[in-house]
Amino acid sequence: MTYTEKLAVNTRTNTALVASIVLSASAAVGACFVAAQKPCCSLLTNNFKPNPEGPCPDNITSNPTVDHFNIASPGQPGKKSRISVNPGPDCVWDVYSMNGEGNCILIVEGRRTHCTPITVAGASCTGEAQP
């Protein structure tokens, strides 16, 4: 086997390796969903999330549960499609900041962000096995 042939085999092997990892990861993500309820703040996808870290963390004052979805476990009956619905309950928090004296002071009280609950609908499927 020439060097070029070996290189070609190696390239094919590497391509197959990458493809297999990608396919495995895709399969792991799954496409079956089951309805669930989750805390609203955990679902926020915009830039204005509560800041729970640092020396002056924001304080969550309301975090209601909202309808959402989970990825189905293998073999677990679920639904195939997801439907975004209108903004639902609010995640509410107080915004704090350090002032010039190094004190943590309340800047905005009751900042609200809508959760966007996602409900599950459509044809049924079972677990993660089905794409």
Partner 1 sequence: MIMATILVYSTIAITSDEQARAWFDRVVAHARSGLDSLELKITYRVESLEPLDTTQIPALRARVKDFPEHPDRILLDRLERFERFGPEIRTQTVWVRHGQLRISREPTLDPGSFYYDLIDFGDSGWSLTPTQLSLVGTRDSRPRGQSFASPISASALEVHDFIAPGAATLARADVQRFILDPTGRWSAESVLATPAGPRAYVVRGRWDPSRGAGAFAGSQLHESGLDSKVISTLEASDHRPTAGMLSDPASVLMYASQASPPRRATLVALAALDPAEFKAVTARPTLNGSDPIRGPVTFTQINDYTGRDAEYRVADEKREFQTVAVEETPEGRQRAWLRRAGWALAAGILVTIVLLRVKQARSA
* Residues engaged in binding partner 1 (CB under 8 A): 1, 9, 13, 16-17, 20-21, 24-25, 27-29, 36-39, 41-42, 46-48, 50, 52-53, 56-65, 70-71, 73, 90, 93-94, 96-110, 112
Least CB distance to partner 1 at residue 47 (A): 6
Which residue, 104 or 121, has its beta carbon nearer to partner 1?
A: 104
- Residue 54 to residue 61: CA distance in whole angstroms: 18
Toward partner 1, which CB reaches closer, 43 or 80? 43
- Residue labelled with tokens 């190696």: 10
Residue 10 C-beta: closest distance to partner 1, Å: 9
CA distances from 73 to 27, 34, 119 (A): 12, 9, 17
Closer of 4 and 101 to partner 1 (Cβ) = 101
Q: Both tokens of residue 54?
A: 């640092």
Burial class (CB in 10 A: 0-12, 13-18, 19+), 96: buried
